[in-house]
């Protein structure tokens, strides 16, 4: 199983009844896997905070519950998370944070282990898929025994790596029902003060449990080197230094510090090997335990056996010759929008309008790259509209200010930005790129798609009605494959005072079904090599060796990938792009 499938398996075995999430790499498959199990109500929420609210509510109602998200999702859910630690649980509550060291698919690299320390909740760190299954299952037990949410933190390699697991049967957790307890569940200051003390007392009980060693494994070694580690770096350490003593921690908040002290006393040199921040290393230092760590191992990016080997070589434990040379670099292949992507043409128009574009997160963020090069900022999910309001308020934008945002992102956290735009009557245009799915993470449903996680029909949010209800007076729906309509719509919107909304309405070419209309071709001798079509950055448009006036290269179309969206044909001033003549056609 992948780590994500194993988390789902562990939760299923533990008797989880309600699971909520908002998609985000590398966490998305947890909910998709959970949805395949019977007796589990698995659902997409509009954002991570709502997902955690749903899971917490279900927990207080007595059901074992889970909320899953990528690391930045926990920023969105943090408000609930911090106080959920005070409230405690009814049925066990497990929060999964899938961190992304190396930023394979994220806007930042943050070590969410600090969230567990900040909130005062137990933290579990699986090292592989079996660990993920076993620890997720155990997390529900800890949650109920200690009356606390539990944070289970994976990383991309654990989430997406595959290894053997030993599945067990599901244990149905007893349905406890909702136990009314306002002193515990209503966080007025007087109650919260008492709950804060309960939280500290529970952390101490957890520390005692950790000292008993249930979540700690010691590998004996010779007396020269001892390594404290957690998560997937454990496997790297074992591979690189098979003779070293290793203390592998699965529970990393609270730490079994006396257990670590006893381990440390056995070795001449003590190391901590961990990904990202010196979370363990600093805790050891605070307890008076001097360990070597970030002096030799990087604080950014993923570790790997080679990176760990290099670190131990720098520390003088391995001869330099034992460290393999870096693997030859692969040819970089930058990501591109798909052939026929309905997000391309709107950005071409925005560039022509010389708009200052506050972008957001989704497939369309690729419009920031050449040749579209039509997005100027991108910070965090849902930030585009507020950023556009601020750019307009600065008076220094120097062009029409446009926020671009996908449908899933708009419903995640963009709506409040639009409220602000109406409230402050900002001179901005909001371009909602509605492709009817959460394309970036693989095409998940959301409240605007009209279907639930299992595909069953649900009422869909009416985007036009929603924007109107917020007080937007000018709203236009345009076809992003119609260059003229796009230009007219965006020109009208940007010329106007006050906020305006333009919504594009073509589905993603990949979801829910692959769209393949009749492909197009370039008639060679009509192509004047103006290369206007190349600004679209469509992967179906290819350079040829044929030139026009000897120096400008002509273009051809790969008919096997062309979706027939027609946009390049509309751009071509020479009429050289036409529907592909099929062999055998009359």
Ligand X SMILES: Cc1ncc(C[n+]2csc(CCOP(=O)(O)OP(=O)(O)O)c2C)c(N)n1
Question: Residues interacting with ligand X, by CB under 6 A?
Answer: 22-24, 70, 72-73, 76, 343, 361-364, 381, 406-409, 433, 435, 437-441
In whole angstroms, what is the distance from residue 173 CA to residue 162 CA? 28
In whole angstroms, what is the distance from residue 344 CA to residue 206 CA? 53
What is the end-to-end Cα distance of the chain in Å, rounded? 53
What strands lie across the sheet with 41-44, from one edge to the other?
41-44, 18-21, 65-70, 93-99, 150-155, 123-124, 251-253
Q: Which residues touch 291 (CB under 8 Å, ≥6 apart)?
A: 228, 264, 270, 271, 272, 281, 284, 285
Residue closer to ligand X by CB (options 110, 438) is 438
Q: Tell me 411's DSSP state.
A: I
In whole angstroms, what is the distance from residue 206 CA to residue 212 CA? 10
Minimum gap (Å) between residue 327 Cβ and ligand X: 29
Tokens 């109650």 — which residue? 191
Minimum gap (Å) between residue 296 Cβ and ligand X: 32
Residue closer to ligand X by CB (options 215, 364) is 364
Residue closer to ligand X by CB (options 65, 437) is 437
Residue closer to ligand X by CB (options 64, 70) is 70
In whole angstroms, what is the distance from residue 170 CA to residue 419 CA? 46
Minimum gap (Å) between residue 416 Cβ and ligand X: 14
Minimum gap (Å) between residue 462 Cβ and ligand X: 16
Residue closer to ligand X by CB (options 173, 418) is 418
In whole angstroms, what is the distance from residue 291 CA to residue 228 CA? 9
Tokens 């010389």 — which residue? 354
Minimum gap (Å) between residue 577 Cβ and ligand X: 25
Residue closer to ligand X by CB (options 2, 25) is 25
Minimum gap (Å) between residue 379 Cβ and ligand X: 11
Residue closer to ligand X by CB (options 28, 129) is 28
Minimum gap (Å) between residue 562 Cβ and ligand X: 20
In whole angstroms, what is the distance from residue 106 CA to residue 91 CA? 32
Minimum gap (Å) between residue 73 Cβ and ligand X: 5
Residue closer to ligand X by CB (options 2, 143) is 2
Residue closer to ligand X by CB (options 283, 433) is 433
Q: How far is residue 123 from each of residues 113, 210, 231, 560, measured CA to CA in Å?
A: 7, 11, 11, 49
Strand 428-433 to 401-406 pairing: parallel
In whole angstroms, what is the distance from residue 421 CA to residue 163 CA? 49
Minimum gap (Å) between residue 67 Cβ and ligand X: 13
User: Left, alpha or beta for 398 (phi > 0: left; psi -120 to 50: alpha)?
Assistant: left
Tokens representing 4?
């994500």
Q: Which residues are paired to 577 by β-bridges?
A: 522
Chain position whose Cβ is nearest to ligand X: 406
Strand 245-249 to 216-219 pairing: antiparallel
């Amino acid at each position: 199983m992948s780590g994500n499938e194993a988390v789902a398996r562990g939760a299923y075995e533990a008797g989880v009844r309600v699971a909520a999430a908002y998609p985000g790499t590398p966490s998305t498959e947890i909910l998709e896997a959970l949805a395949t199990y019977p007796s589990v109500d698995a659902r997409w929420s509009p954002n991570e905070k709502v997902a955690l609210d749903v899971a917490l509510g279900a927990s207080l109602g007595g059901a074992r519950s889970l909320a899953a998200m990528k690391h930045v999702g926990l920023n969105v859910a943090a408000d609930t998370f911090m106080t959920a630690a005070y409230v405690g649980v009814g049925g066990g509550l497990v929060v999964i944070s899938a961190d992304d060291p190396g930023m394979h698919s994220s806007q930042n690299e943050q070590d969410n282990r600090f969230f567990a320390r900040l909130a005062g909740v137990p933290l579990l760190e699986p090292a592989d898929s079996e660990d993920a299954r076993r620890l997720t299952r155990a997390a529900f037990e800890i949650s109920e025994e200690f009356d606390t949410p539990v944070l289970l933190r994976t990383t991309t390699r654990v989430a997406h790596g595959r290894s053997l697991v030993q599945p067990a049967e599901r244990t149905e957790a007893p349905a406890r029902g909702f136990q009314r307890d306002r002193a515990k569940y209503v966080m007025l200051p007087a109650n919260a003060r008492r709950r804060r003390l309960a939280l500290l007392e529970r952390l101490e009980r957890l520390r005692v449990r950790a000292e008993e060693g249930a979540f700690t494994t010691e590998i004996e070694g010779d007396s020269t080197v001892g390594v404290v580690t957690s998560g997937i770096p454990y496997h790297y350490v074992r591979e690189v230094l098979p003779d070293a003593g290793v203390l592998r921690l699965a529970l990393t908040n609270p730490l079994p510090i006396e257990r670590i002290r006893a381990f440390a006393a056995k070795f001449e040199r003590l190391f901590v090997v961990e990904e990202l921040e010196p979370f363990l290393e600093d805790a050891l230092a605070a307890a008076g335990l001097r360990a070597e760590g970030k002096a030799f191992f990087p604080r950014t990016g993923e570790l790997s056996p080679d990176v760990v080997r290099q670190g131990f070589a720098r520390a003088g434990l391995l001869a330099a010759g034992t460290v393999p040379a870096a693997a030859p670099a692969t040819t970089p292949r930058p990501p591109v929008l798909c052939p026929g992507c309905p997000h391309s043409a709107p950005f071409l128009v925005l560039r022509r309008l010389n708009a200052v574009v506050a972008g957001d997160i989704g497939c369309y963020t690729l419009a920031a790259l050449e040749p579209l090069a039509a997005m100027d900022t991108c910070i965090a999910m849902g930030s585009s509209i507020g950023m556009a309001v601020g750019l307009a308020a600065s008076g220094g934008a120097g062009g029409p200010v446009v926020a671009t945002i996908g449908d899933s992102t708009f419903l995640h956290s963009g709506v409040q930005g639009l409220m602000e735009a109406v409230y402050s009557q900002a001179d901005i245009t909001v371009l909602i790129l509605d492709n009817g799915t959460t394309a970036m993470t693989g095409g998940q449903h959301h409240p605007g798609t009209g279907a639930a996680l299992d595909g069953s029909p649900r009422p869909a949010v009416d985007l036009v009605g929603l924007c109107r209800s917020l007080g937007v007076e000018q709203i236009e729906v345009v076809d992003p494959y119609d260059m003229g309509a796009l230009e007219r719509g965006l020109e009208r919107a940007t010329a106007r005072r006050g906020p305006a909304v333009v919504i594009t309405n073509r589905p993603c070419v990949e979801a829910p079904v692959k769209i393949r209309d009749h492909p197009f071709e370039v008639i060679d001798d009509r192509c004047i090599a103006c290369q206007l079509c190349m600004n679209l950055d469509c992967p179906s448009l290819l350079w040829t060796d044929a030139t026009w006036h000897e120096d400008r290269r002509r273009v051809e179309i790969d008919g096997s990938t062309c979706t027939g969206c027609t946009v390049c044909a509309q751009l071509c001033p020479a009429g050289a792009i036409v529907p592909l003549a099929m062999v055998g056609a009359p």
